[in-house]
Amino acid sequence: RGDISAGLRRELWSLHTRNTRTGKAMGLEDTSLPFDEQMPSAFKNWTELLERNKKRKSNGLPPIASLIEFRRDSAKLSNLD
């Protein structure tokens, strides 16, 4: 159901983009729009947030939000999730 998945996506997005200082989710400022219509601008904000957190990490600072870049080079599967 679309209404359930949209709510779950919004909650997940908010969880990972919540600013540690303000407590507000970044990238979803216009709550008058449906979540799916906000995704293009939110994705751009997400990309910028990843870059900002990467720079902060290289300077020994904590991330702005819990969203950080990760990379997996191995195609090996595991049951650790």
Q: How confident is the model at residue 37 (pLDDT cuts 50, 70, 90)?
A: confident
Q: How confident is the model at residue 44 (pLDDT cuts 50, 70, 90)?
A: confident
Q: What is the 3 state secondary structure string of the chain?
A: CHHHHHHHHHHHHHHHHECCCCCCECCCCCCCCCHHHHHHHHHHHHHHHHHHHHHHHHCCCCCCCCCCCCCCCCCCCCCCC
Domain ranges of the chain: 2-25+32-58
For residue 59, pLDDT beyond 90: yes
Taking the model in full, what pTM does it have?
Answer: 0.57
* Residue 31, pLDDT score: 65
Cβ atoms 17, 46 nearer than 8 A: yes
